[in-house]
Structure 1
Amino acid sequence: MDMNVLSTPGHLISLAARGFARLSEARLKPLGFGVGHLPVLVALQDGRASTQRDLARFARVEQPPMAQMLARMERDGLIRRTPDPADGRSSLITLTERAEARLPDAVAVLLQGNDDVLRDFTDEEAGLLVTLLTRLIANLDRVAGAEASPGPERSS
Structure 2
Amino acid sequence: MHERHRELLSHLRDALKAVRLFKQRTAPRDTVVPAGALGVLAAITASRGSHVKELAAASALDPSTISRAVAALVRDGLVERTADPADGRACVLTSTDAGRAAYDQVLDRYGRGLADALRGWTPDELRTFSTLLHRFTDDLLEAAR
Task: Return the TM-score normalized by structure 2.
Answer: 0.81
Kindly provide the CA deviation profile for residues 46-71 of structure 1, in whole angstroms up to 9, marking residues without a partner as x.
78221112222332323222112112
- Give the letter for the 1:14 counterpart: R
Structure with the greater relative contact order (CA < 8 A, sep ≥ 6): 1 or 2? 2
The answer to whether the 8 Å contact 1:56/1:66 transfers is yes
The answer to whether the 8 Å contact 1:25/1:34 transfers is no
- Give the letter for the 2:11 counterpart: L
Q: Aligned pair in 2 of structure 1 residues 18, 32: CA closer, same or farther (>3 Å)?
A: farther
Question: Match for residue 51 of structure 1?
Answer: 51
Q: Aligned pair in 2 of structure 1 residues 29, 12: CA closer, same or farther (>3 Å)?
A: farther
Instruction: Return the offset for 1:2.
Output: 8.1
Q: Aligned pair in 2 of structure 1 residues 78, 16: CA closer, same or farther (>3 Å)?
A: same
Question: Match for residue 15 of structure 1?
Answer: 14
State how far apart, in whole Å, the 2-side matches of 1:136 and 1:89 are: 39
Kindly provide the CA deviation profile for residues 4-60 of structure 1, in whole angstroms up to 9, marking residues without a partner as x.
98x722332232233223322342442222574343333333782211122223323
The answer to whether the 8 Å contact 2:40/2:69 transfers is no
The 10-residue stretch of structure 1 (67-76 or 23-32) with the greater mean CA deviation from structure 2? 23-32
State how far apart, in whole Å, the 2-side matches of 1:20 and 1:89 are: 38
State how far apart, in whole Å, the 2-side matches of 1:89 and 1:80 are: 16
Instruction: Return the offset for 1:140.
Output: 1.0
Task: Return the TM-score normalized by structure 1.
Answer: 0.76
* Long gaps (5+) in structure 2: none
Instruction: Return the offset for 1:91.
Output: 0.4
Q: Aligned-pair RMSD on alpha carbons?
A: 2.7
Q: Aligned pair in 2 of structure 1 residues 55, 29: CA closer, same or farther (>3 Å)?
A: farther
- Give the letter for the 1:13 counterpart: L
The answer to whether the 8 Å contact 1:39/1:58 transfers is no
Question: Match for residue 42 of structure 1?
Answer: 42
* Long gaps (5+) in structure 1: 146-156
Q: Aligned pair in 2 of structure 1 residues 47, 9: CA closer, same or farther (>3 Å)?
A: closer
Question: Match for residue 122 of structure 2?
Answer: 122
Q: Residues 1-156 of structure 1: matches in 2 within 5 Å?
A: 3=3, 8-26=7-25, 27-33=27-33, 36-45=36-45, 48-145=48-145
- Aligned length in residues: 144
